[in-house]
A and B are shown apart, each in its own frame.
Chain A
């Protein structure tokens, strides 16, 4: 199947600093990428949908100025957590969606996730 990578896999940063997480689709083009957050033992929460060449669409309750998303190419989206605080510590996961096929379906592939710890 298609591969999506994330970098870094783990990051520890100090409170007040910013952290950038990269999401790449390695063997396919993804016009749409998604960013999720998952706290320990909790379900996924979709943060935003990122479309190549346009502004990201944020879910209700997600601060767009705090979680900056850039989808500069068909294979790369980045999430920057600005002025991180301990409560931002979480598992951040991206996924990339392939183009819709003739039958109307599309596949969605997840990256391995980035575990962020803010101290």
Chain B
């Protein structure tokens, strides 16, 4: 089956670095996504990893290890506006030959001064 685990909540201090982990189980992995979502708003796409390694984009980086079923989102130089939910999503190939994208429950990040 498919399963995605990420911590429910995290708290970090403004200016610090925080790492949000995501572990997953799939039968036909086809990519992993990270999204940011502020309460009551639509999400924002952050990153897409399909190959192992680190993808860096400004203050945000995403890492993937397909053999370990593991990804993390790294946020540097935290700002108060980074307080949001961070969603990990995995695209899995299903038996019918199509795909299914499963979202984790999200990690609520609180950035404190």
Contacts and interface: CB of A to CB of B under 8 A. Distances in A.
Contacts of B94: 60
B45 A44 contact: no
Contacts of A49: 99
Contacts of A42: 105
A43 B45 CA distance: 14
Contacts of B106: 43
Interface string B81-95: 000000101000010
Interface stretch (A70-78, A80-88, A102-110): A102-110
A76 to B, nearest CB: 18
Given A43-B87, A44-B35, A60-B94, A110 B103 contact: no
Contacts of A105: 48
A88 B41 CA distance: 19
The prevalent SS among residues of B at the interface is strand
Interface residues of B, number: 20
Interface string A95-115: 100000000011111111100
Interface string A43-84: 111100100000001011000000000000000000000000
B42 interface: yes
5 contacts: A43-B105, A44-B103, A45-B103, A110-B42, A110-B43
Interface of B: 35, 37, 41-45, 48, 87, 89, 94, 96, 98-101, 103-106
